[in-house]
Amino acid sequence: MIEWTNRHFNYGPTSFDRRQIFVATYTYRLPVLKRRQPLVKGAFGGWEVSGITRYQTGPELTPTGTASIPGTRRSSYVGGPVALPSDRRGPNHWFNTAAFSNPPATALGNAGVGIILGPAWANWDLSLRKVFTLREGWSLRFQADVFDAANHPNLDAPNVSTNNSAIGTISSSQPARNIQFAARITF
């Protein structure tokens, strides 16, 4: 049977599928300190902390390659485990590249759809804010935001092209920690 007419040949997870995703959003309002002196209450009371925490598994990727005839096709699976043990896996060598080769010119390649698991993702975004009353009808809102508060490296997908010398390597990641401040006067 010709591979492109076999619906099972293309059956598998898509590259944007994530098997597990955990997302938590939270807000905590610090005590107002009603029984404190006005200066202490105004400076340290009424702050609000909020955040978004996200953990997810990595993308399921399909190895590709090219043959002597133009066009990109699925790579050939030559055998062996695809995943590397966690102590041997890193940005310079994410999966077992020896398990794949370029497909022959007469075939589409037999590597399964989504057999390479990309890196997982973990992120903490935090926000701290407070509204200060300046005088009647006037207020100052202060806000500080921290994106990727843990500064955890979130790696992008590895190169899965068997005709590329950088196969199995990860050359980029999501942006590092970013901090921003904002102040707004309302009157």
The 10s digit of each residue's pLDDT in 116-165 is 999 999 999 999 999 888 888 899 999 999 999 999 899 999 999 998 88
Q: What span, in angstroms and rounded, lies between the C-alpha atoms of 103 and 72?
A: 10
Q: What span, in angstroms and rounded, lies between the C-alpha atoms of 15 and 95?
A: 16
Are 145 and 180 within 8 A, CB to CB? Answer: yes
Q: What span, in angstroms and rounded, lies between the C-alpha atoms of 1 and 67?
A: 20
The 10s digit of each residue's pLDDT in 82-108 is 999 999 999 999 999 999 998 887 777
The single residue listed with the structure tokens 């993702």 is 121
The 10s digit of each residue's pLDDT in 49-60 is 999 999 999 999
Q: What span, in angstroms and rounded, lies between the C-alpha atoms of 168 and 94?
A: 5
Instruction: Assess whether pLDDT exceeds 90 at residue 13.
Output: no
Question: What mean pLDDT do residues 23-51 have?
Answer: 82
**What is residue 151's predicted lDDT score, i.e. its pLDDT?**
92
Instruction: Assess whether pLDDT exceeds 50 at residue 1.
Output: no
Distance between start and end Cα atoms, the chain: 74
Residue 70's pLDDT band, with cuts at 50, 70 and 90, is: low
What mean pLDDT is reported for the chain? 87
Q: What span, in angstroms and rounded, lies between the C-alpha atoms of 68 and 90?
A: 31
Instruction: Assess whether pLDDT exceeds 60 at residue 62.
Output: yes
Residue 70, amino acid? P
The single residue listed with the structure tokens 């794949």 is 100
The single residue listed with the structure tokens 């075939």 is 107
Q: What span, in angstroms and rounded, lies between the C-alpha atoms of 149 and 180?
A: 12
**What is residue 149's predicted lDDT score, i.e. its pLDDT?**
94
